[in-house]
Chains A and B, each alone.
Chain A
Amino acid sequence: MRVNFTVNGREQQADDVWEGESLLYVLRERMGLPGSKNACEQGECGSCTVRLDGVPVCSCLVAAGQVEGRDVVTVEGLADYAKQRAEHGGCGTGACGTSLDAAKQWEARPADSQTGEGTQLSPIQQAFIDAGAVQCGFCTPGLLVAADELLERNSEPSDADIREALSGNLCRCTGYEKILDAVRLAAAREGEAV
């Protein structure tokens, strides 16, 4: 079957989708967006977390057919999504977002502190790098999407808020402390910027 939906602010179309296929499979294998990770396939690990109409969900548990006409944001579009939110409070025109080609090639190239060169990251992405919250990196995309959504609705989260918001995302490397540091750092930077 064919599924039409919005990915990172742009209309997309997936063809030959099997009816039992997950949104995660469509994103990774049909759209060429491997940022959302495929691990447990049962909603335990959170590494496939995306925003579905703004709501964080495990994309492995959303049937592809269920996203027809709906709006998905993946980690590849997170930097643009956060930028739009900061500048305009979201995308009103429909002309923003991240093209599929740009998303496919998206890499985290943080701004170099010496030269200032590099890609603009979302505040939460930059904070993960600065706080050393990334080790093997497999859980990182899901954590970024979940943490970004937390900061969107709660700009001054308590430690309990952060733990609750990230309770559906497993990390086997960091012991979580650096991840908590990163979210605190991002919140503090946003607070300073205002």
Chain B
Amino acid sequence: MDFLRPASWEEALAAKAEHPTAVPIAGGTDVMVEINFDHRRPEYLLDLNRIGDLSEWEVGEKTVRLGASVSYTKIMENLRTELPGLALASHTVASPQIRNRGGVGGNLGTASPAGDAHPALLSSGCEVEVESVRGVRMIPIDDFYVGVKRNAMEPDELIRAVHLPKADGPQQFSKVGTRNAMVIAVCAFGIALHPETRTVRTGIGSAAPTPVRAREAEDFLTAALEEGGFWESGAPIPPSVAKQFAQLASGACNPIDDVRGSAKYRRHAVGIMARRTLGWTWESYRGNERSAQCA
């Protein structure tokens, strides 16, 4: 095994071009487990810790450019306002020690359906900035996950950053596990209300071969909110609409039975989380609408 330590992004790209099989390592919270357990013996490890700008973020007018190695701890501490869904999801990642090391780039690189960031990334509608010596590509998150632990990247590409729209409305995240800390999600659900475009986006984790959106549920809810004039009135969502949304979210799952839970349970739980998170975000939206009207 060789340990490559590029001092700059350009050096890292050159190294990845020369050794496409090199395994990038940043927080190490996935890669080192595989090495410790002898599940993987990469020919090259490509250490990204020396590249400072991967751990930085920029808050722009419309978007946040989040470096691939910004730790979950930093996201929780610094980006709760701009990226509430991702901050909530970050808080459920493993433990403080893991959150201090792990970042969104690793979740995307591993592309496990159980990665905690995915539902928030999907519901935000972000883009992933990947680069190789051949150039930069912006991959829409909807096109990023292509199979179980497979993503849309080429072997010579590295993840540099994620560009997330700043929240224009309430966002929520919910995850089922046996305890609060140190759990891999049995299943998870993320939702983002987008009042500016009057749309709703969702993300489901651990309930299909890849992280997925509940598109039919989104379309149904977006139409129901529009037709009922809910965005203007801020009226409560009728239980029948919430129920239908939950059923459609449940239907978007394509889960398996495994040690963490059964397929049947996952479908059920995703429906429950969809209904609850919709309730939480809508109450928050209504609260804001009401206080805006009172002012």
Contact = CB atoms under 8 A, between A and B. Distances in A.
A55 interface: yes
A65 B96 CA distance: 22
Contacts, number: 88
Interface string A35-65: 0000001111010010000011110111101
A80 B100 CA distance: 24
A66 B180 contact: no
A43 B29 contact: yes
Given A19-B3, A43-B98, A46-B95, A61 B181 contact: no
Interface stretch (A91-99, A109-117, A164-172, A177-185): A164-172
A127 interface: no
B28 to A, nearest CB: 5
A68 interface: yes
A42 B181 contact: no
A98 B55 CA distance: 30
Contacts of B96: 56, 146, 164-165, 167-168
Contacts of A68: 5
B67 interface: no
A62 B49 CA distance: 11
A20 B41 contact: yes
Given A165-B96, A168-B182, A61 B1 contact: no
A22 interface: yes
B33 interface: yes
Interface in B18-74: 25, 27-29, 31-33, 35-37, 41-42, 45, 47, 49
B101 interface: yes
A19 B3 CA distance: 6
B94 interface: yes
With a 10 A CB-CB cut-off, give which of A56, A60, A61 has the most chain B CB atoms: A61
Interface string A63-83: 101101000000000000000
A42 B36 CA distance: 8
B97 interface: yes
A19 B32 contact: no
A19 B32 CA distance: 11
Nearest to A167: B181
Given A19-B45, A63-B32, A167-B181, A57 B101 contact: yes
A22 B94 contact: no
A47 B259 CA distance: 25
Nearest to A150: B96
A167 B101 contact: no
Nearest to A69: B50
Contact of A65 (B33, B36, B45, B180): B45
Contacts of A168: 94-98, 181-182
What is the interface residue range for chain A against chain B?
Answer: 20 to 34
A43 B1 contact: no
A57 B71 CA distance: 12
What is the interface residue range for chain B against chain A?
Answer: 20 to 34
With a 10 A CB-CB cut-off, give which of B36, B41, B98, B180 has the most chain A CB atoms: B36
A19 B1 contact: yes
Nearest to B28: A61
Given A41-B37, A43-B94, A66 B47 contact: yes
Given A55-B100, A66-B47, A146-B96, A18 B36 contact: no
Contacts of A56: 96-97, 100
B73 to A, nearest CB: 8
With a 10 A CB-CB cut-off, give which of B1, B32, B33, B97 has the most chain A CB atoms: B97
A102 interface: no
Interface string B186-225: 0000000000000000000000000000000000000000
A167 B182 CA distance: 8
A29 to B, nearest CB: 14
Nearest to A64: B3
A63 B33 contact: no
23 contacts: A19-B2, A20-B1, A22-B35, A42-B37, A43-B33, A43-B97, A44-B182, A56-B100, A57-B100, A58-B101, A61-B27, A61-B98, A62-B32, A65-B3, A65-B47, A66-B25, A66-B49, A68-B5, A146-B97, A164-B96, A167-B96, A168-B94, A168-B182
Interface of B: 1-3, 5, 25, 27-29, 31-33, 35-37, 41-42, 45, 47, 49, 94-98, 100-101, 180-182
Given A43-B94, A43-B95, 9 more contacts: A1-B3, A20-B45, A43-B97, A49-B97, A61-B29, A61-B98, A65-B47, A66-B47, A165-B96
